[in-house]
Structure formats: structure tokens, C-alpha cells
Amino acid sequence: MNRRQMMTSATATLTSASSFIPGIAMSAAKSSPPVPPVARKEPKRLEQLGRVRVDDYAWMKDDNWQKVLRDPSLIKADVKEHLTAENAYTKAMLAPTEALQAAMFEEMKGRIKQDDASVPAPDRAFEYYTRFETGAQHPIHARKARALLETLAGKDPIPGGPMVGVYKAFGPEEVLLDEEAESKGKAFYQVGGAGHSPDHALYAFAVDEQGSEVYRILVKDLATGKVLDSPVESSTGDFCFSPDSQWLFWTFRDDNGRPARIYRRPARGTAKDDVLIYDEPDEGFFIGVGVVSSEKFIVISCGNQETSENLLIPAGAPTAKPVIVEPRQVGLRYEIDHWNDHFVIRTNADGAVDWKLVTAPEATPGKAHWKDWVAHKPGTLIVGMIAFSNHFARLEKVDAVNRIVITAKGGEEHVVGFDEAAYALSLEGGYEYDTTTVRFVYNSMTTPRQWFDYDMASRQRTLRKTQEIPSGHDPAKYETRRLNARASDGTEVPIFVLMKKGTKLDGSAPLLLYGYGSYGISMEASFSIRNFSLVDRGWIWATACPRGGSEKGWSWFLDGKKFKKKNTFTDFIACAEHLHGAGYGKPANTVAYGGSAGGLLMGGITNMRPDLFAGIIAAVPFVDVVNTMSDTTLPLTPPEWPEWGNPLEDAEAYDYIASYSPYDNVGARPYPAVLATGGLSDPRVTYWEPEKWVAKLRPATTSGKPVLLKINMDAGHGGASGRFDFLKEIALDYAFAVWAVERGWEHRA
């Protein structure tokens, strides 16, 4: 997310971590230290597969959590009372950092171009974009009309719709959705997805007003400016229009928070017009609906982390029954796109661990007719693909760095890449198929984002936008490095480092070590306006890439999941040890940071090597793994058994999960200072996970260092919805890091 702003004169002197806390602490020296809440224990005996565990804090889970997600005010009184007390304790403990929080917030805010706008995305007669008003927390969605200069003969796939051709001459702005206006008076407001119908007559957008990811989809008539009656309720926020603009396809979210069914309704219809077109039989599968690049088919995608299935509906017959491409087979994954007269399928079939591309005829897309097109190459991970009428673009990752490969219709290939040792590169999808232009975004840890339009035929790059940093940014003041740590089994683990030039590598600089390591999600050497509020204070920012991600290919993911999950923890520990050995910080001034499944990583390393860290920031941490993976009512439990294992049916999985689950392995150890955060409406990592973990950690630690909990009572997994409110949460995290290194709590008594 983009967030930023400058220091005020009152806080401009707060320029270093080492000078901040003591000066504040002296003013608080006469005050008594805050007293932490003590959570009551209600032992609950749980027997499972012949194993017995006792959970003292199971009472913190609200039995009506599904209703709480939709209406947080329904939380049971004793839980609310305890969370309120925890928030008050955290606020009191971190009171000496409030000036630093304010300074960091203003710095981050100052790095945001407040009236920023996206690069317009053309779609024949219009171009679409979002923009912010100065001071606004939420964007405006808008478009401008374009004049048709030249019609491309025989290129009109939308009956009665806009012609395909060459457009220029932009018209006045038309506001499609003003999120800032809609969010007024609401504690949380987030648009999960938005898009126009292909005939440009309607605009649909999915809204979440609790942070629970239960979306309402509204459809606006752009001719009248009116929102149609009867919005879609209980959606995941996933939807698409049929290519003929006559139908809206959408995904239903059930009471357990899972995408369960696909419905179709007339684009201007109401709930009574909804028709069920697909009902997913496996509660462990996620489903969604979309349209292929050529707009010739609607696709229903189904799958989990190891198995997938796709169904097709011809765009020319949008009310037809979906037809399966290739029936699901455990271990077979594939995704499908359409390029001119055939399908292109990205798949792991036939042992293609890092994926390959195959083609198939329109009439017979099943696996029996798949023909290898881009062969599997171990270590070259095919990340994604986009088809255009005369070109095909794919994104590949090699040794933690991305590149774009363009294939012309005739078969000629070329690579789009950059020279930096570590950078982030991504493809941006557009609306137009009949174009030679693909858009990509380039950035690095020192270089702000740059949006390029790339002509795949002429190979010309056009810089469309450079991320503007109003308060100033000089890349020459910083340096980024690519390091490799050696894990205990000899595996080399990538680390990306950002620091100011001239930083002494003698262990004296504080170190923030970030990590994730799950679901095959790659960490990128990307630009963040937030991190400079630590780096400018002399900190080193390092991003570890432990197994469980896919930075070094899909095998990197497979070596960090299920019965190999502990590799994620030991890899991260190896990164910390390598950095310390090379002079990038030392245990006494190192803070580890991770969120969600990265919060599991934080819990794991905290139990395994508390001596390596002065502080731990665990954002919405997935730490109660045995209990969560044993609760089939929770949104992500059945879909995630392939990732973690099923402790309800597999004794080996139970024992392995229990051996690392952070909550279950808390013991008498000298834990670092800990800040755990969460959201009351979070459906992914429920609020009681960090709440229970903190309740168990606090009496267990032998270090005397504080254990803090901060729960956002008005948000979910992603935290605050406004772009500035979100920055305040990040500023609190970073101020905690400074406080933990400076042992700020010791100055209160």
C-alpha cells in the first residue's frame, strides 16, 4: 500500500533511535509502571486422536464468532472487557513513544503524494483510473471518454458496444465511485473490487463495512448515476460481468466464511433473479469466477494449495451449463487462459514442479489433449501470464528475481529485465486484448515505483509514471544488498538488505528482520515509503526469504510446508545469525517482524531462539495452530489442511503441528519484548489467537520484558481501511521496535 509525510518542526529533532527514548523516559520517571491484565484460566480438556491437551484460555473464543464478524458489537462482554484492558495496558506502556509515533506517521504521510492518481487503463472508448483528493483516506474511481480516431476493421466483439480501434482526445472526468464520501461516518470502509461492464454502462463495486470480508456488491447505472436496487449480499467480493454485459456472475460466502457457490443474475437484476450455476462440493476448495483474456469464455476456478479444477462457459452462451476442463486430481494444479483459437494452460502436470505452459484446442481442452509449449525448467518458476491478440506475456522468477518474457504470435521470444541485483517487477493486467501494449511496474528497495507501457512489437518502453515522494527521496543516499545465509542443511537462503550508505557493519546499527515464508508467496526487494522511517534513523532493514515462499521456485515452497514447516523457522534463524555474524546488528538490537502466517514464523522463532531478538512484532499472528486446524467451522481450516496437515484425522500431522505451534509451545523462557496485534473482525486469523498467545506468554516469560496486545476493535485482517489510519498502525509497530531496542519500559519506574 502507498502511505507517507514529513516531520513537523516540533518533532524534527527526533532523528535517531538512540536519542529518543531516554529523553522521553525522564519525564515519565516518577510514574508507576502500568499493571498488565491477568487473564483468568478456565482449563478445557481436549482429546484428539488419543492425544490430550489442556487449553486454559479457550473461553476467549466467542461461540457466536460468525455473528461477531458481521456485527462486532455482539462480542461477549467478558472478552470485550479483557481486550479493552489489554489495549489500555499497551497504550500506557507505549505512552513514552507517542511523540515518536506521531513523528513517524507524519514522515510516512509526507512521502505520499496526497492527490495521487493511477495511470489510466484504456478500454476502447474510455480510460479508467483512481485518484485521491488531498487529505482523503479513500480514492475516487473515475473515467474519461476518448474519441475514436481509427476503427480496426473486423474488431468489434461486443454487439452494440464500443468499436475496437485507435482512441485519443480525452474528455471530462466522470466520477464512478467516491469512496471518501461513502466512508463518512463509518469506522471501517473498504472496496474489495470494482469494475465496469464491457459496454461501459454499469459499474459494480464490492464493499466491506466491518473488516470481516463479507462483501455487498452494488451496481451503478452510469447513465442515471443511481445504484440499482437489491445489491448482492453475503459475497466474497469476487464478481465479473459477462462479455456481452448482460449478466453478473458472483461468488457467495457461506456462514463459515468460505466461497461456496457461484450465482448468475441479470446485470440489472435483483436477488430474486439469482440462479445457482455452481455449488462447490469440497469445503476445502476456494472458488472464483472471471473472464479469459480474449473474452471468449467465462471461467470458474476451484482449488486449494495442491489441487485445482476449472470450468468454462462460452461467452456467446453465458447461460450455458459450465463444462469441466480437466476433472480434479489430487496433486494436479492448472489455470487456464485463451489465446486466439486455443487455450494456454499453466500447470504442474507431469512433474513440472516450477510449472510449464501447455496448449489445448478450444473443442477439447482436457489433459489428454495438452501439448507442451513452454517446457518445465527447474528453478525457473512461471509466476503468471497474460494473453494479447498477437503476443503472450509471462512472468518468471529465477533465484528470487522476476523477469518478463514476451512471445510473439509467430513464436519469437524476448526478455524484459533490469540490471539491479535485487528488484521487484510485476505485470499489470489491462482491459484491452487487441493491443501491442503491456504495462509493468518496476521498483527496488531504493528506487520508487515506475509504471512502464511496453510495446511488445517495437520493444519500446514508455515511462508513464514515477512514484512521487513529496517530502523528498534520494536513492543515492541508500544501498541495497543481496545476501545469502546458509541453513543448517547447507541450503542458501536469500536476504534483501536496505540501509543508508556508510552504515557501519560492526553490529551497532539496529536491525529489523522481516519474514513470511508460507503459501508459496514471494517476498520482493520492493520499495516501501514506510521503511525509511527506521532506515533514516540508522536502522538496517532486512527481508528474509525462508522456505515456504517461492522465491527460489516452487520446490522452495514445498520444502517449507506441512512436514517440512520447521525449515521456515530454522531458515529465518539462520538469516538472523548470518546478519549478526556479518555485522548487520546483534541480538540486543534486533527486532523480528512478521504478519499473519509470518506471525506464525514470529511465534516459532520466539520459542526456538528468544536469545536472538530484543523484540518481536507479530501482526495478526497465526499462532494457535493445533486448535485452529482442528476447528472445521473456521473459514480457512479445511482449505488449509494441504498446507499444514489435518490434525483431526492424521496423528502424524497432529504431532508435527503440536511440536511447533507457538501457543502450544510457550514455556518458561527469557522471551524478547513482544507486540501482538489483531483485528476483532478478522476472519483469517481470529482475534482470540493473539489474545490467547499473549495471555499465555506473559506469565511464562522469565526475562521481565513486556508482552503487549493491541486489538483494532473496528477492523479485520488488513487493519485500518483508510490510507492514513493504516499508517498510524505501522508507526506504532515501528515505535515499538525502537522502544524494544532501547528497553523503554525500564525508564518508567
In a domain, 449, yes or no: yes
More confident residue, 3 or 499: 499
DSSP 138-206: S-EEEEEEEEEEEE-TT---STTSPPPEEEEEEEEEEEEEEHHHHHTT-S--EEEEEEE-TTSSEEEEE
If one counts every other C-beta atom within 10 angstroms of the C-beta of residue 673, the result is 26
Q: Average pLDDT in the 518-547 region?
A: 97
In a domain, 63, yes or no: yes
Q: Average pLDDT in the 609-637 region?
A: 96
Q: Please give the pLDDT value at position 7.
A: 23
Residue 557: which CATH number? Answer: 3.40.50.1820
**d(Cα 691, Cα 669) in Å, to the nearest integer?**
19
Q: What burial class does residue 160 get, using C-beta atoms within 10 Å of its C-beta: 0-12 exposed, 13-18 middle, 19+ buried? A: exposed
Looking at residue 596, the DSSP 8-state letter turns out to be T
Q: Please give the pLDDT value at position 2.
A: 28
Q: What burial class does residue 210 get, using C-beta atoms within 10 Å of its C-beta: 0-12 exposed, 13-18 middle, 19+ buried? A: buried
In a domain, 586, yes or no: yes
In a domain, 21, yes or no: no
Per the CB < 8 A criterion, the answer to whether 510 and 591 are in contact is yes
- Do both 486 and 386 map to the same domain? no
- Do both 362 and 446 map to the same domain? no
- Do both 503 and 609 map to the same domain? yes
Rg (CA), the chain: 26
**d(Cα 688, Cα 694) in Å, to the nearest integer?**
10
With CA atoms as reference, report the closest residue to 522 among 498, 553, 491, 497.
553
How remote is the C-alpha of 445 from its chain's centroid?
18
**Position 23 confidence tier, pLDDT thresholds 50, 70, 90:** very low
Is the entire prediction scored with pTM above 0.75?
A: yes
In a domain, 532, yes or no: yes
Per the CB < 8 A criterion, the answer to whether 269 and 247 are in contact is no
Q: Enumerate the active-site residues.
A: 596, 682, 717
Per the CB < 8 A criterion, the answer to whether 311 and 292 are in contact is no
In a domain, 285, yes or no: no
Q: Which of 439, 468, 497 corresponds to the end of one domain?
A: 468
- What number of CA atoms fall less than 13 Å from residue 109's CA on the CB side? 22
Q: Average pLDDT in the 693-702 region?
A: 98
**Position 147 confidence tier, pLDDT thresholds 50, 70, 90:** confident
In a domain, 237, yes or no: no
Q: Would you give the end-to-end CA distance of the chain in angstroms?
A: 39
**d(Cα 488, Cα 682) in Å, to the nearest integer?**
36
Q: Range of 439's domain?
A: 379-468
User: 3-state class of 127 per DSSP?
Assistant: strand
- Do both 463 and 557 map to the same domain? no
User: 3-state class of 117 per DSSP?
Assistant: strand
**Residues 113-125: pLDDT tens digits?**
999 999 999 999 9
Per the CB < 8 A criterion, the answer to whether 647 and 657 are in contact is yes
The x, y and z cell numbers of residue 573, run together, are 534463524
- Do both 531 and 392 map to the same domain? no
Q: pLDDT at residue 738 above 70? A: yes
Looking at residue 348, the DSSP 8-state letter turns out to be -
Q: Please give the pLDDT value at position 419.
A: 80
Q: pLDDT at residue 541 above 50? A: yes
Q: Please give the pLDDT value at position 31.
A: 65
With CA atoms as reference, report the closest residue to 572 among 553, 590, 558, 554.
590
- Do both 357 and 486 map to the same domain? no
**d(Cα 259, Cα 59) in Å, to the nearest integer?**
28
User: 3-state class of 612 per DSSP?
Assistant: helix
Q: Which of 468, 501, 527 corresponds to the end of one domain?
A: 468
**Position 718 confidence tier, pLDDT thresholds 50, 70, 90:** confident
The x, y and z cell numbers of residue 231, run together, are 445489491
Per the CB < 8 A criterion, the answer to whether 492 and 484 are in contact is yes
Q: Mean pLDDT, the chain, as a whole number?
A: 92
Q: Please give the pLDDT value at position 164.
A: 57
- Do both 661 and 619 map to the same domain? yes
Pairing of the two strands 413-416 and 121-123 = unpaired
With CA atoms as reference, report the closest residue to 110 among 471, 581, 368.
471
Strands (E), 369-457: 371-374, 380-387, 391-398, 401-408, 413-416, 424-428, 437-443, 450-455
- Do both 557 and 682 map to the same domain? yes
- Do both 419 and 532 map to the same domain? no
Q: What burial class does residue 667 get, using C-beta atoms within 10 Å of its C-beta: 0-12 exposed, 13-18 middle, 19+ buried? A: exposed
DSSP 700-742: H-SS---EEEEEETT-BTTB-SSHHHHHHHHHHHHHHHHHHHT
- Do both 597 and 622 map to the same domain? yes
- Do both 462 and 494 map to the same domain? no
Q: pLDDT at residue 138 above 50? A: yes
How many domains is the chain partitioned into structurally? Answer: 3
Per the CB < 8 A criterion, the answer to whether 235 and 188 are in contact is no
**d(Cα 348, Cα 215) in Å, to the nearest integer?**
33
In a domain, 22, yes or no: no
- Do both 436 and 518 map to the same domain? no
Residues paired with residue 395 on neighbouring β-strands, in sequence order: 384, 404
**Position 168 confidence tier, pLDDT thresholds 50, 70, 90:** low
Percent of the chain topping pLDDT 70: 93
Give residues with Cβ within 8 angstroms of 534, minimum separation 6. Answer: 17, 510, 512, 541, 734, 737, 738
Q: Please give the pLDDT value at position 5.
A: 24
Greatest Cα-to-Cα distance within the chain, rounded to the nearest angstrom: 81
Per the CB < 8 A criterion, the answer to whether 520 and 557 are in contact is yes
Q: pLDDT at residue 546 above 60? A: yes
Q: Please give the pLDDT value at position 17.
A: 31
Q: Which of 446, 468, 490 corresponds to the end of one domain?
A: 468
**d(Cα 110, Cα 196) in Å, to the nearest integer?**
33
Looking at residue 227, the DSSP 8-state letter turns out to be E
Residues paired with residue 413 on neighbouring β-strands, in sequence order: 407
**d(Cα 461, Cα 30) in Å, to the nearest integer?**
62
